[in-house]
């Protein structure tokens, strides 16, 4: 009997998914986001037009393990005026221009003193950096190094019209109920402002996937989280310890829209099913991809994989964070991502989910020797895989390893064949009465 999530990939695929994700990423790109504030809420409203996102608020001052939810940051305007009164930096032109979580300031000061509060990239002089000061109160601006070097001496006027006030941290959550209470966690950070790859791409892909999941039956329950980096995942874990115990597999998504070859970082467990599923998919579908061992540095996988939880959650990216020149700069714009790369990332993730949904234990009804395949109409007739020799070998491997101890993923790994080929062979053998589900 087929499982509820069988052939998930074919049911979630569809033409134009890359354009669909890109268009959503473009809509949320201009919004100024941070770890708290209305930018997160505005982004969730936009994403909520695609998926049924429930918005959660965690009040400022709430203790979440060793952390405290900070005051909410409100930013209205920020600018620098040169000695002639002309605005040379304006937050309204690019939200990267203000130090994210900047304290308020209104002052006049000489250029030498202003320089102490300006962040630039001397090695990339035409780009604006993205910088934050979440947990240390300071004010500041970001601008291109070339522009800073061109500023004349004199008195400058600066304004950051911001405030910190009691409010909340906001995150979004979609729960798609499956046939079982066991969960697959999918998570993307929502705190970065106008950075297309990191992480408008991940947010838009996750919302698109959440939308498509609504229309299909699944074996697992899917929990999709859109939360500010680090503090958002920590807050979710602190408030959902009982739900966290249901998570059987998980992925954090970031930087999924650029042209780089895909990368997967294993969970802390190292050989969890999600680690094996992603490695299998990348080996068969993404030449040039890499599978990396876990390290306690990166995105929210390090919170989900902390020793008190040790959840089987890995990280999927294309170019690795911190390694591409556009990372955390104004060059991470909408021209840096493309529909074809977003579609490729989507297809790889769905292929891994297909393995999670379709993996199962089977056993032979007659385990002694090989069955006479022609008698069952199976010789050379297994469908679902492109090459006839592979179809035959997939059937032989499946029948040999279907002993109630090897899952379909075990069979795919040992045979070197794609999971889809093993799955198609298993379906054919089940239909012929040669296999049954193992208890």
Residue 241, C-beta contacts closer than 8 angstroms, at least 6 positions apart: none
**Strand, helix or coil for residue 437:** strand
Q: How is 62-76 classified by DSSP, letter by letter?
A: -EETTEEPPPEEEEE
Closest residue by Cα to residue 20 from 2, 39, 47, 40: 47
Is there a binding annotation on residue 97? no
Spatial separation of the C-alpha atoms in residues 179 and 201, rounded to whole Å: 29
Residue 10, C-beta contacts closer than 8 angstroms, at least 6 positions apart: none
Write out the two tokens for 200: 């408008």
Spatial separation of the C-alpha atoms in residues 229 and 329, rounded to whole Å: 18
Is there a binding annotation on residue 427? no
Is there a binding annotation on residue 198? yes
**Strand, helix or coil for residue 263:** strand
Spatial separation of the C-alpha atoms in residues 138 and 131, rounded to whole Å: 12
Residue 133, C-beta contacts closer than 8 angstroms, at least 6 positions apart: 99, 100, 101, 102, 103, 140
* Binding-site positions: 192, 198, 328
* Binding-site positions for Zn(2+): 192, 198, 328
């Amino acid at each position: 009997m087929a499982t509820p999530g069988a052939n998930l990939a074919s049911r979630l695929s569809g033409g134009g998914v890359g354009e669909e994700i890109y268009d959503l990423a473009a809509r949320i790109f201009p919004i100024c986001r941070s770890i708290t504030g209305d930018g997160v809420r505005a982004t969730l409203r936009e994403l909520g037009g695609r998926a049924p996102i429930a918005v959660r608020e965690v009040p400022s001052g709430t203790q979440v393990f060793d952390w405290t939810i900070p005051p909410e940051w409100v930013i209205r305007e920020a600018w620098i005026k040169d000695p002639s009164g002309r605005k040379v930096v304006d937050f309204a032109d690019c939200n990267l221009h203000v130090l994210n979580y900047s304290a308020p300031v209104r002052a006049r000061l000489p250029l030498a003193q202003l320089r102490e509060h300006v962040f630039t990239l001397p090695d990339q002089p035409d780009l604006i950096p993205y910088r934050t000061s979440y947990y240390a109160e300071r004010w500041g601006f970001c601008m291109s190094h070339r522009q800073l070097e061109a500023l004349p001496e004199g008195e400058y006027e600066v304004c950051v019209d911001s405030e910190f006030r009691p409010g909340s941290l906001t995150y979004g959550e979609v729960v798609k109920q499956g046939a079982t209470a066991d969960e697959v966690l999918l998570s993307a950070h929502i705190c970065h402002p106008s950075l297309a790859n990191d992480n408008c791409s991940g947010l838009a892909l996750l919302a698109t996937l959440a939308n498509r999941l609504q229309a299909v039956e699944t074996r697992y329950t899917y929990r999709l989280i859109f939360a500010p980096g680090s503090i958002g995942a920590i807050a979710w874990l602190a408030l959902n310890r009982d739900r966290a115990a249901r998570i059987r597999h998980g992925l954090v998504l970031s930087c999924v829209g650029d042209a780089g070859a895909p990368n997967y970082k294993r969970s802390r467990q190292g050989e969890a099913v999600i680690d094996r599923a992603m490695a299998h998919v990348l080996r068969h579908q993404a030449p040039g991809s890499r599978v990396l061992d876990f390290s306690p540095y990166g995105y929210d996988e390090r919170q989900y994989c902390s020793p008190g939880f040790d959840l089987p959650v890995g990280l999927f990216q294309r170019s690795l964070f911190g390694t591409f020149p556009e990372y955390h700069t104004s060059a991470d714009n909408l021209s840096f991502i493309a529909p074809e790369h977003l579609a490729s990332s989507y297809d790889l993730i769905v292929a891994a989910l297909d393995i999670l949904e379709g993996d199962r234990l089977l056993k032979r009804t007659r385990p002694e020797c090989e069955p006479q395949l022609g008698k069952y109409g199976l010789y050379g007739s297994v469908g679902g895989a492109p090459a006839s020799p592979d179809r035959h070998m997939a059937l032989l491997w499946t029948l040999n390893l279907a002993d109630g101890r090897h899952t379909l993923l075990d069979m795919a790994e040992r045979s070197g064949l794609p999971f889809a080929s093993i799955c198609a062979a298993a379906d054919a053998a089940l239909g012929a009465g040669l296999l049954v589900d193992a208890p």
